[in-house]
Amino acid sequence: MTHTLIPTDRLSPNNTLYVPQTPLRQRLLLQKIQLHRNPCATMNPPCGRCKKPVYPTEKINCLDKYWHKGCFSCEVCKMALSMTNYKGFEKKPYCSMHYPKTSFTIVTDTPENLRLKQQTMLNSQAIYKEDFEKNKGKGFSVVADTPEMQRVKKTQDQISHALYKEEFEKNKGKGFSVVVDTPEMQRVKKTQDQISNIKYHEEFEKSKIRSDAPPPENRQDYEEQPSSPQRFSQPAGQMRPPAVAPPCGGKRYQAMYSYTAAEADEVSLMEGDLILDVEPIDEGWVFGCNQRTGQRGMLPANYVRPV
């Protein structure tokens, strides 16, 4: 073992070695101090989970951090993740099952929000009023759907339903049955309506010819009128054709309700009218003559009853 002698001029007053400090020596000394405090500080970064050094062979760089392959797992279920199946949230890895769901933010009713809400309602009312003024006088009236109007509408529906049920019970078992309005029934009804309309027009033309044409003897008496006022009064009465009375044969029915004709081949009724020559033509409709008006046509069967 050899000993090196150090000159006395390089010893400090306390007999320690004195080395001149150069910039290179200062930088090397600083690196030694850092390595002494944290040996991996300058070579390997810490893991984002276990805080231990991450070596290049097992390093994963993700979410602005370095991870061990075994530490890169879900924060909830600890399932191992990779760069293809992870989902990051707040710089932490999650699997698809435990990825945090974003929720809506609840806005409080601050004075500013209340003011904006009121301003929006005022703008809506202004637009509604403008549309109302434009549509004013166009044949319809705007009715607000208030709770009171809904209650009145519901009451009217209940009354209509009760009246319909009462009328149905009254007419139950009076010679007619309710038939489902199928497409086949509609076609049959339309055909029968056309046939009834043709028959009605034929009878109307015949009765019109009989009522308009005066008898031959009336024409002759009118042409050979004498100057005597006594003989003149007789043909004057004969010039007016007698009123054609409706036939009184067939079944007789009486109207239970008033009815207004909706088509040209229908007959209007008033409660108590006597209907003559009643013939059923379809389920729910009959053909007859109103004795009060002399009109002939179709009328609903549930509005009349036999007498």
Mean pLDDT for all residues in the chain: 74
Q: What is the predicted pLDDT for the residue at 135?
A: 76
Tokens encoding 141: 């009236």
For 12-64, the three-class secondary structure string (H helix, E strand, C coil) is CCCCCECCCCCHHHHHHHHHHHHHHHCCCCCCCCECCCCCCECCHHHEEEECC
According to the per-residue pLDDT averaged within each range, which of 206-210, 212-216, 263-267 is highest?
Answer: 263-267
Closest CA to 56 of 39, 42, 44: 44
For the cut 80, the answer to whether the pLDDT of residue 71 exceeds it is: yes
- Cα distance between residue 298 and residue 261, in whole Å: 9
Tokens encoding 104: 């809506």
Place of tokens 């944290």: 38
Contact 236, 210 (CB under 8 A): no
DSSP 244-294: -PPP--SEEEEESS-B---STTB--B-TT-EEEEEEEEETTEEEEEETTT-
Mean pLDDT within 266-272:
89
Flag the least confident range among 153-167, 170-184, 193-207.
170-184
- Between 3.40.50.11820, 3.30.390.10, 3.40.50.1010, 2.10.110.10, what CATH number should domain 18-94 receive? 2.10.110.10
**Domain spans of the chain, in order of start:** 18-94, 248-307
Name, in order, each residue with C-beta under 8 angstroms of 304's C-beta and a sequence gap of 6 or more.
253, 254, 255, 256, 269, 275, 278, 286, 288
Q: What is the CA radius of gyration of the chain?
A: 55
Whether pTM exceeds 0.85? no
* Structure confidence by residue, pLDDT tens digits, 91-149: 889 998 888 877 766 777 788 888 888 888 888 888 888 888 877 766 555 566 788 88
- Residue 232 pLDDT class (50, 70, 90 cuts): very low
- Residue 238 pLDDT class (50, 70, 90 cuts): very low
* Structure confidence by residue, pLDDT tens digits, 9-35: 544 555 555 556 677 777 777 767 766
The CATH class given to the 248-307 domain equals mainly beta
Mean pLDDT within 235-257:
59
